[in-house]
Amino acid sequence: MTVNGEVISLLGTKVDPEQDVVTVDGKPIQMSTPRTLMLNKPAGYITTRSDPHARDTVMSLVPEIPGLHPIGRLDKDTTGLLLLTNDGTLTNALTHPRHRVNKTYHAWVQEIPTERAVRKLMTGVEIEGKKTAPAQVEVLRVDKHRTLLAITIHEGRKRQVRLMCAAVGHPVISLTRVSLGPLVLGHLKEGKWRDLSPAEVQSLFRAAGVKEREDK
């Protein structure tokens, strides 16, 4: 057994179900009743449980639930679908690189990308010394000096979509995540949240290639 990554051999070791991550044979152990929320994250909030600089975090937008934490990250200026859970098994299923769960973003970018620029986004561009995996890209709307792209990726590199678009010469103006796996943001208003249904949670496990909860 490990607690926060450290092997525990002493009987009677105490853990905090709200703070500690406990694993047995590499699998997270559920310490409290599983609950998963979908939040439509507004701009200006950082995706972390707390911040030493007293900036606004997404935790201020959702109820206090033991062990609740964000699954993955959206940067401060990015809006849209963010999941928060106290279910370590679900977190692992959605964040482990081998599971390749798709995430779709709507990105307004500067100017109008050429077919060559869109093709580069689709086949992969080099950011921070490493080429991105192939992406799905669709042009949704073209205005005079900006374009709305739908970009679907399965990687989780920091600020990936922004860096990809900048790499092809079309910096992002605004960015919203509109889906994660089978879940879509829909009409959930910015700053609001809702509980996922058991069926929605199971659909996330299936999207990750996990047929059933590993802690059952």
Q: Please say if the pLDDT value at position 171 is more than 70.
A: yes
> Partners of 146 in the beta sheet?
110
- 199-211 pLDDT, tens per residue? 999 999 999 998 6
**Chain region(s) in the chain for CATH 3.30.70.580:** 2-98+182-207
pLDDT at residue 97 in the model: 82
CATH of domain 102-180: 3.30.70.1560
Q: What is the pLDDT of residue 163?
A: 97
Give the mean model confidence (pLDDT) for residues 20-39.
75
What is the predicted pLDDT for the residue at 51?
79
**Average pLDDT over the chain, rounded to whole?**
89
**Higher pLDDT among residues 207 and 212, named by residue:** 207
Q: What is the pLDDT of residue 216?
A: 46
Of 16, 25, 56, 75, the active-site residue reads 75
Give ranges for CATH 3.30.70.1560 in the chain. 102-180
Contacts of 176 (CB under 8 A, 6+ apart): 78, 79, 80, 105, 106, 107, 185
> Is 143 marked active-site?
no
How is residue 58 written in tokens?
């997404």
Contact criterion met (CB below 8 Å) for 181 and 205: no
CATH topology (fold) of 2-98+182-207: Alpha-Beta Plaits (3.30.70)
Separation CA 172–CA 157 (nearest Å): 16
Q: What is the pLDDT of residue 213?
A: 55
State both tokens at 123: 């086949």
Q: Which string of b and e fits 159-191 if b means at least 16 CB within 10 Å?
A: bbbbbbbbbbebebeebbbbbbbebebeeeeee
Given a cut of 60, is residue 137 above it in pLDDT?
yes
